[in-house]
Amino acid sequence: MISRVYSRFCQTLPAPEGSRGLLVAFSGGLDSTVLLVLAARFAQEQGLALRALHVHHGLSPHADDWVAHCEGVCQQLAVPLIIQRVQLQRGNGDSLEAQAREARYQRLAACLEEGEWLLTAHHQDDQLETLLLALKRGAGLRGLAGMVPNQPFAGGRLLRPLLEVSRAELAALAETLPYGWVEDESNLDVSYDRNFLRQQLIPQLKARWPAMAQTAARSMALCAEQEALISELAEADWQQAGEGEALRIEALQPLSPVRRNNLLRHWIRRQGGEMPSRELLGLLWQEVALAREDANPRLSLQGLECRRFQGRLHLVPPGLAPREEVLPIRVGETLRLPDGLGAFRLLSSDGGEGLRPPREDEPLSVRFQVASGVMLKPVGRVGSRRLKKLLQEYGVPSWQRGRIPILYYGEQVALVAGLFVCDGFLAPEGGIKGDWRRAVAPARD
């Protein structure tokens, strides 16, 4: 029995030469116990380091007993065990199930070493549950494709080598092993959606159609192929329509509605946004992209706002407001800016062109505003302008105004970061320079 399952386990793993070791997510339950036994055999045969990690959520009165059980199993298998304890917040609006999953993956990511493989015990029946939950949510192809067997994760890879093995096969194998396993009593609570599927619905489906899990897995594999195809198409369209992190509306207009929506989803995903509904994408196009020329439209997405400026769509954090701080700075210092605006540094220009050194009566500071009525004259420009007019000429979107670092010498504006130096502050050589490093939001997978 173990040889047959082990053979399939090995076939799903990448070449072992690409791994710097294995980390098994070990709950002590039936599935992860079988996984740990298979991983121990694989690690021994391939000469790989193996560790196990158990997350103590503290939700069950038996949680400490589970830790003791896991320690005993790992001791018998000579596998080092890491125990991570987390605390969940009841009544904060998120389900405990979702919180526990998030906390578990956070600890797994934190413990995974560079180049290491994380192995989880998800199996074929879990895939069927995932498909049914995706259908309940009205998910698209990405959701219907289910869990993938191999993906990047926290500097290593996340592998699910049991996705083609049924729960019944794992149970039969577990019965032949001497280690036993723990039973989480919360798995019987059908108020959780996944438990309802596992305990009530899926047994009926499999009683009527015994091959349900296998055929569902084939459908999910087809969905994964189609998702890969439309992702390739979206990336090709992005290369044509993208500009920095913005989208050119002119390049979107010739696309069919379905192709345009595909690109919009791709763009939102690149910037870490949650996938909007079809209705929300329709509003984005009609009320933001196609709004009248003199409008300043915005649309709230989940955690982001879609804005339009000079024929381009932008995704920005919600609730951006002008800053009012006065922040002292010295040459050679790095200043952490508020509200996720990054960092501003003053450095020597190494003999090249830069700002003239300040006089003793010119203390340096970084601000974000210019007093009403003050006129600025950028180097090389004829005549002075108000800052608002200059920002319009330099193509700065309205939501960034009041959020750009401005370097002051005393009470005089010397530099508007990333845009211009003011007349009278430029040194042809031997000066200083300001370096603004904007914060960059990570993209979601």
Residue list for the binding site for ATP: 27-32
Return the structure tokens found at 100: 């526990």
Cα 350 from Cα 352, distance rounded (Å): 6
- Compute the distance between CA of residue 368 and CA of residue 397 in angstroms, rounded to an integer: 15
The DSSP-derived string for 64-119 is HHHHHHHHHHHHHHT--EEEEE----TTSSS-HHHHHHHHHHHHHHHHPPTTPEEE
Position 25: which residue type?
Answer: A
Cβ within 8 Å of residue 137, ≥6 positions away: 143
Contact residues for 21 (Cβ-Cβ < 8 A; gap 6+):
43, 48, 49, 50, 51, 113, 115, 116, 117
Angle at the Cα of 434 (from 357 to 443), degrees rounded to 5?
170
Q: Dihedral angle at the C-alpha atoms of 426, 427, 429, 435, nearest 10 degrees?
A: -50
CB distance 422 to 413 below 8 Å = yes
| Angle at 94 (CA atoms; ends 92, 97), nearest 5 degrees | 125
* Residue whose C-alpha is closest to residue 202's, from 268, 139, 132: 132
CA distance 184 to 66: 9
- For residue 246, give Cα distances in angstroms to 26, 107, 122, 225, 249: 43, 34, 38, 28, 9
Q: Which residues are annotated as a binding site?
A: 27-32
Phi-psi region of 330 (alpha: psi -120 to 50; beta: other; left: phi over 0): beta
